[in-house]
Amino acid sequence: MQKLVLLLCLFAVLFTSCNQNRYRLSLPKINSENLKFAPEYYSEKPDLASPAITKEERELILLKTNDGRFTWMDGTVENGEPFNYKQGLQGKGNQLMADKADFPHFAEKGVHDETELRNTKTITGRSVSQITVDGRPWASSGVGFLAEDETIMSVISADNQTVKKLGLTHPDIARPLFHFWNLARDFEKQQVEINVLLYNSHEVEFKIQGSRGWQESIFDDEILGTGHIEIWRQLSLKEIDFLKRNYWQLSSDQFEELQKMVSHFHTSEMVLFYINRYGFYEGHTEYRPDPVTVALVFGLTSIEKVHFAAGGDLYSYFTMHFTQNPD
């Protein structure tokens, strides 16, 4: 009888642990003992996977300096000290927090349950209708968090369907963005000049620009934003060839636009927290890090898979607004 109880307890622990892991993508293991960390450098690129995770569960990313050298930095996604511009607090903040009170399935599995979305009337105690009003252009911000014809639930629902089709979870999408943000916060401390991350065999480039003041959150939470973040990478010849074969009907201007939409995005640091906490990427605004683009830029999936996740029409996917509320 005691053995049975022990086995049941062990099963419960394992089952809970599995459910608490909201990532579908795992990082390769790496031995950190002989690695060079900033401000030490390699003259040539190490033949090692990046990102990777150590036995201590630290998440490491290989970076390329402006003068062509390489170094490792720790970009571990974790809850840290408070992050609040108003109070001058520059910790990591709650990077792993999910809104369990409003979305228990999402908090456990990393993707939303459609029934749960249909029944959602409030988020963080605010009505979804009021959040939608505040998210529209020229409400709580100039460009807004949603397009004029979108609602908070139509956007969350549409992006949730896309992430599911990609075979990923929202934390999978948020993780490389947090990796980038955690590294960027330390560049000045380490006195390194870097604008390239080596991520899943891709050279991911970026640019950061601050602004005066900060943007308040439409969810009435502690999340604030003040930065402009641009992230992109060059598409491979194979990826461009795939687009040419499948989107030959587009005009030259449309094809150029499509290439940029799948390989480049502009956002703010507050959206990183939104993705992991609510599964919200913003609607069709200039600050939207589309899950398709993030997944492709950081090598979480392939050009073929994002094409099929978009229903075989990436151009329409990117240009059409999300106006259908969850039924």
Which of 9-13, 59-63, 323-327 is the most confident on average? 59-63
Please count the structural domains in the chain.
1
Determine, yes or no, domain membership for 110. Answer: yes
Helix (H) or strand (E) holding 306: helix 303-309
Residue spans of alpha helices (H) in 71-137: 104-109, 114-118, 128-135
Count the helix, strand and coil residues of the chain and give each as a percent rounded to the nearest 5: 40, 15, 45
The band of 223, judged by pLDDT with boundaries at 50, 70 and 90, is: confident
Q: E strand or H helix at 19, and its extent?
A: helix 2-20
270, containing H or E segment: helix 269-278
What pLDDT does residue 208 have? 87
Residue 324 lies in a domain: no
Residue 60 Cα to chain centre, angstroms: 17
The token duo for 90 is 């520059």
Average pLDDT over residues 208-226: 78
Distance CA 111, CA 207 (A): 29
Give the H/E segment covering residue 195: strand 194-199
In a domain, 327, yes or no: no
- pLDDT reported for residue 81: 86
**Sign, Cα dihedral of 123, 18, 53, 288:** negative
The two tokens of residue 115 are 């029934």
Q: How confident is the model at residue 5 (pLDDT cuts 50, 70, 90)?
A: very low
Residue 325 domain flag: no
Q: Is residue 302 part of a domain?
A: yes
Element (H, E) at 123: strand 122-123
The model's pLDDT over 163-188, given as tens digits with 9 standing for 90+, comes to 999 999 999 999 999 999 999 887 76
Residue 289: what pLDDT? 97
**More confident position, 11 or 47:** 47
pLDDT at 190 over 70: no
Residue type at position 153: M
pLDDT at 23: 83
More confident residue, 240 or 14: 240
pLDDT tens for 66-80 read 999 999 999 999 998
- Kind of pairing, strands 202-209 and 194-199? antiparallel
For residues 270 and 220, what is the distance between their CA atoms, to the nearest angstrom? 12
Q: What is the pLDDT of residues 226-281, one digit of tens each?
A: 778 999 999 999 999 999 999 999 999 999 999 999 999 999 988 999 999 999 99
Q: Identify the domain containing residue 297 by its residue range.
A: 2-319
Does the residue 223 lie in any domain? yes
Overall pTM > 0.85: yes
What are the b/e assignments for 70-88, b being 16+ CB within 10 Å? bbbbbbbbeeeeebeeeee
Quick one: CA torsion of 225, 301, 59, 12, rounded to 10 degrees? 100
105: number of CA atoms within 13 Å, CB side?
10
Residue 196 lies in a domain: yes
Average pLDDT value for the chain: 89
Could you give the C-alpha distances from 263 to 12, 203, 297, in angstroms and in order?
A: 42, 12, 6
In a domain, 286, yes or no: yes
Q: Is 12's pLDDT higher than 50? A: no
SS3 of residue 118 by DSSP? helix
